[in-house]
Structure 1
């Protein structure tokens, strides 16, 4: 997949004609996947290239700067690139969303970013909008393209009568409903970061943990304990373990600014410091608790670990 960065004003690119999926695609969930797969299938049918056009940063960061710190992503830009690449796309266009781009009229967007770029067919969800204040829709596309673009509108993807959307996934993640998150994503939700040196208290109580530093723009699951699998960069083997997200209230009277992600890998020996670690969340075990001291905490971690091991044992039998 060729990744092409774009911004306004955008000169014509010397690329082959393409069927293009449009959307922000945060998390690349099942609804997004349907739109992108339509683009790939239509491109094959027409004998042209397939493409995806996404935008960065999130429009809210530009249009509502006072709320920029509140914007959290389900996937980093690198993760989004990898997820889209896995769907068999030829071109990925990443458009810089800034004030000048946000001010484009629907007509200007279609002329400069679609027609000028050899796009032949546009695929998007039923609620996709483009141009200043989102005044362009899939219904207005034939008018703005002067009949030069074909279009395919993809209906909503639902689960139990609820639309699968990035918003619903974020809400579920904040609530700790990780199984719903994974069902809507069509994969296991993962966070990737570097292992940093912590207070090493876990070693003293028999549960050494890796403190994983996560990009602050990435949305963390609700505080609590989870059954996880862990993989280090460049390693194919997947390790089972238990993870806690939170503020370690047993040892801290005051909350730090951001929660800490600590992963304990079962039966693992080795040094993980400064390594990149990917932590995948399979099941929510319990919320974060404050214990009377280390002994009570150790007893609970043992109980949690047994529950996690039983969960994975059951998954192997399925």
Structure 2
């Protein structure tokens, strides 16, 4: 798989067209690479196979809302850039065009976008969702793409992919995560929701309580699920372990933690993994985070949480 980064502000067209080859191109932002996105990308792969040419994806970074909306709080992603590239690669595409979304890129007319970012890349067929837009203020639509193409390429429009009569979307998946519905979010994604990060030193309170934890510092701006206690799977050094995680602000001990922490207590595990890059897979939300009155109360609740987690794992993981 070949990754080609394109930056309109620091490259001229000859630089990115130098890498071009005949392809079928799936276009979209693709945060999460969820089931709807997968439908678009698999259609492109199938079309490419029929034509005997490469299957390519064009995605963008950062999110247009970050560039045009200038949000006060930085956006969080289901799949930050590196994670998204891994997901796209796993689907079996041959190349990825990663286009930096900048103010100057946002000002391209629909025709300029088609000419410079589709035709110049030797694209023979485009696949995108029905609601994909392009060009300044999203003025270009899929219904208009044929006119802009002017018979230089063909295209397919993928209609709305739904679950329970509701569109599968990145926004919907974020809402499910914010409500703690990690099982539903994973179903809509088509794979378990995970956060990648590094195990860092914490305050060692878990060890004193008899429930040592791995403190995971997210590697990027992942969308962290609702605060509370979860059953999790934990991946480190190529191995998978089960455990429970607290996502939150540690109100018993801390008054003003700026970001939610992710602390994982692993079952049947006693290795030193400080500095390791790990993945936390959220399986089931079991209770809200709470403030305790003392050490004994905390230990009693953690014991109950572990029993709940082990019972859920026994009933649901085979």
Task: Give TM-score scaled by structure 1 length.
Answer: 0.96
Aligned twin of 1:256: 257
1:133 aligns with 2:137: yes
Post-superposition CA distance 1:212-251 (Å, at most 9, x none):
111462210000000000011xx33210000000111112
User: Residues 111-165 of structure 1, C-alpha deviation per residue, up to 9 Å, x if partnerless?
Assistant: 0000011001000001000000001111111111111110101111111111100
Match status 1:103 vs 2:107: yes
**Correspondence for 1:63:** 68
- Secondary structure in structure 2 of the residue aligned to 1:24: coil
Separation of aligned partners in 2, 1:14 and 1:210: 43
CA positional deviation for 1:292: 1.1
CA offset digits 1:151-190 (Å, max 9, x no partner)? 1011111111111000000111111111110110011100
TM-score by length of 2: 0.96
Q: In 2, distance between residues paired with 1:149 and 1:159?
A: 32
**What RMSD over aligned residues (CA atoms) do the two structures have, in Å?**
1.1
Per the alignment, residue 17 of structure 1 pairs with 22
- Write the distance in 2 (CA, Å) between the matches of 1:246 and 1:210: 14
What displacement does 1:294 show?
1.3
1:286 aligns with 287
2:48 to 34, 38, 43: 43
Distance in 2, matches of 1:215 and 1:316, equals: 27
CA contact (8 A) 2:4 2:19 kept: no
Which stretch of the first structure deviates more once superposed, 10-19 or 158-167? 10-19
Structure-2 residue corresponding to 1:154: 158
Q: Number of paired residues? A: 313
Looking at structure 1, the residues matched to 95 and 190 of structure 2 have their Cα atoms a distance apart, in angstroms, of: 23
Structure 2 CA distance for aligned equivalents of residues 42 and 58 of structure 1: 28
What residue ranges of structure 2 are gaps of 5+ in the alignment? Answer: none
Query: Kindly tell me: are residues 92 and 139 of structure 1, through their superposed partners in 2, closer, same or farther at Cα, counting changes over 3 Å?
Result: same
Answer yes or no: is 1:296 the counterpart of 2:297.
Answer: yes
Mean Cα deviation higher: 305-314 or 24-33 = 305-314
CA distance in 2 between partners of 1:171 and 1:70 (Å): 17
Q: Distance in 2 between matches of 1:14 and 1:239?
A: 42
Which of 214, 226, 242 is the matching residue for 1:240?
242
Matched, 1:217 2:221: yes
- Distance, in Å, in 2 between the alignment partners of 1:278 and 1:174 is 19
Distance 1:193 1:216 in 2: 8
Q: Displacement of 1:68 after TM fit?
A: 5.5
Note the residue ranges of structure 1 that are not aligned, 5 or more in a row: none
Contact 2:80/2:220 (<8 A) preserved? no
What is the deviation of 1:38?
0.4
Question: 1:135, 1:79 → 2: CA distance?
Answer: 29
- Report if aligned partners of 2:200, 2:275 keep a CA contact under 8 Å in 1: yes
Q: How many Å separate the matches in 2 of 1:38 and 1:293?
A: 57
Matched, 1:114 2:118: yes
Distance 1:213 1:162 in 2: 34
Q: Is the 8 A contact 2:58 2:96 kept in 1?
A: yes
- How far apart are the structure 2 equivalents of 1:25 and 1:286? 31
Instruction: Please give the alpha-carbon distance, in whole angstroms, between the structure 2 residues aligned to 1:14 and 1:276.
Output: 33
Moved over 4 A (4+): none
| Alpha-carbon shift at residue 110 of structure 1 (Å) | 0.3
* Secondary structure of the structure 2 residue equivalent to 1:80: helix
Q: What's 2:38 paired with? A: 33
Aligned equivalent of 1:2: 2
Determine if contact 2:114/2:149 at 8 Å carries over to the other structure.
Answer: yes
